[in-house]
Amino acid sequence: MPCDGFDKPIYPCGVNVSPLYEKWESLVSENPDRMALHVAETGEKLTFADLHNALHQLPVADSITFPSEPGKAFILETLRSWKDGSLLCPLESGASEIPLQREALPESICHIKLTSGSTGEPKKILFTPDQLACDADKIVRTMGLKPDQPNLGVISLAHSYGFSNLVLPLLLHGIPLIWVGSPLPGMLRSAFREWKEQVIALPAVPAMWKAWIRSGILSQEQVGLAISAGAPLSLDLEQEAFSETGIKIHNFYGSSECGGIAYDDSPSPRTQPGHVGRAMAETELSVEQAAGCLQIKSPSVGWGTLTGETLTEMNGVFSTSDQARIEDNGSVILGDRSDDIIHVAGRKVSPGKIEAILSQCEGVNHCVVFGVKSRDAERVQDIIAVVNGELADPDQLEAVLSKELRTFEIPRKWWFTDALVPDARGKISRSGWR
C-alpha cells in the first residue's frame, strides 16, 4: 500500500502546504470520545475531541513554530502549525530558536528536523507532509502499532525518533500516548501501576532499557512491544532483557534524514553482531559499491537539507555513513561508520569492535573509542579510549583487550571521566569527544 498523498490548500499563514491537518480532523470525527493523551505528571486525560477543542482555543500560529515544551503543549503546537500552515521546527527543551526565513524555503516544506552537527551548527533537514506521513505509515505498519496498545512516552518528542514513533502515530493514526516524560525507573513504575490493566508499546534507547532491566520494573504482560533506537542495542543487553523479563526488545534502525530504515521483528534475541533487522515497508535498501555504505530509497526520505543559505535536494535517496552488507534473507548487517574508521600504520581499526569488548569489562559504565592524529606521521593515528567507570584501570583493561584484539588495536591513550554519559537520545557523540 503506497503512502498517502495530499492536496495543497492555502492556510492562514499564507503558505501552500499539504494538509496533515485534514487527516487529524478525520481522526477526530471518527474517534471523538476515545482517549488520545494521558499526561502522567498532572493526571490529565484528554480524548481526541478534548485535544481538538483545546487546539481551537489557541491563537493563529506565526509563520514558523518552535515547539520545545514537552507533553501536551508539544502536541498542541504541532497541531496548530498544521492547522495554520506554519513551518514546524521542534527544539529540545531549553534550546534557543534558530534563525530561519520561511520565504527562502520551498512552499511544500512543512517541517524541519535539527540534528547536532560536527561543527556545532545544527543540521537542518527539510520535509514535506507526504514524507512525514509516509514515515508514520511505515512505522505503524512495520511495528504493528495499534489503537488498543498505547505508546508510553519517555523519549524526546522533538527528536526524530520520538516525533515519528509517538507524535505522528497519535495525530495521524490514532495511537494513544501516555506521556510520562521522565525515564527514571520510579516514574515508569508509577505509570505501570496506574495502567496495570493496559498492554503498552514502549519505545526507548539502550541506556534506558539497561536501567529498567537492572531495577526490575519491567513486566512481559504489560510491555507488549519493546523498541530500542537512537544508539546500537548490544546483543548482551537484548539477551539479558529476554532472560530476566521475557521481553524481546526489537532493534529499530533509522536516521533523521529518512526516518525508519530497518526493524528487527524476530521473536527471539538476535545472535549476529551488527544485525539491525530488515528493510521497513516502502523502503528499498542497497549497498554502494564504492564506499560500501548503506543507501536508502523511500518516499520518507526528506526533501533535502539547508546549510547556511544553500538548499540541497535528496530526491528520495539518502546514503548513510554506515558500512553494511545485506544478506540473502534481507537482513541488514552494519559495520562501522566510514568516517569513524581509525587508520593505524596502514591498517584499519574498528572503534565499535573495541567499544563492544570494553563495555563488557567489569567496572566500565560507558566508553567511546576514536582516533586522533599521531605525532608519528607513519603511524597516522593513535587510538584513544574514553571510559566512565568506578573500578576501571588501564592495565587491567589492556589485559582484557589483549585476549581478543591485536596489539595495534589496543588503545594507546586512556581518558577516565565521569562526564562520559549518554545524552537524552541514548547516544555518545564520538565526534564530540574526539
Share of the chain above pLDDT 70, in %: 93
Q: How far apart are CA 111 and CA 192, in angstroms?
A: 33
Q: What is the per-residue pLDDT across 70-107, written as a single tens digit (0 to 9) for each?
A: 999 999 999 999 999 999 999 988 888 889 988 899 98
Q: What is the per-residue pLDDT across 175-184, written as a single tens digit (0 to 9) for each?
A: 999 999 999 9
Q: What is the per-residue pLDDT across 253-288, written as a single tens digit (0 to 9) for each?
A: 999 999 999 999 999 999 998 999 999 999 999 999
- Tell me: pLDDT of 356 over 70: yes
Q: What is the per-residue pLDDT across 331-345, written as a single tens digit (0 to 9) for each?
A: 999 987 777 778 887
Q: For the purposes of burial, counting CB atoms within 10 Å of the CB of 110, is it exposed (0-12), middle (13-18) or buried (19 or more)?
A: buried
Averaged pLDDT, 49-62: 96
Q: What are phi and psi of 20, to 5 degrees?
A: -55, -30
CB atoms within 10 A of CB 318: 21
Q: What are phi and psi of 292, to 5 degrees?
A: 75, 20
Residue 189 binned pLDDT confidence (cut-offs 50, 70, 90): very high
Q: What is the per-residue pLDDT across 125-154, written as a single tens digit (0 to 9) for each?
A: 999 999 999 999 999 999 999 999 999 999
Q: How far apart are CA 137 and CA 154, in angstroms?
A: 21
Helices vs strands, H then E, count in the chain = 12, 24
Pairing of strands 317-326, 331-337: antiparallel
**H-helix or E-strand spanning residue 123:** strand 123-127
Q: Which segments of 288-374 are extended strands (E)? A: 293-297, 304-307, 310-313, 317-326, 331-337, 342-344, 347-349, 364-373
Average pLDDT, the chain: 90
- Tell me: pLDDT of 6 over 80: no
pLDDT at position 378: 62
Q: Among residues 228, 187, 181, 219, which one has the least CA distance to residue 200?
A: 219
Q: Which segments of 327-412 are extended strands (E)? A: 331-337, 342-344, 347-349, 364-373, 381-389
- Tell me: pLDDT of 409 over 70: yes
Least confident of 5-14, 96-105, 228-237, 396-405: 5-14
Residue 296 C-alpha cell reads as 536508502
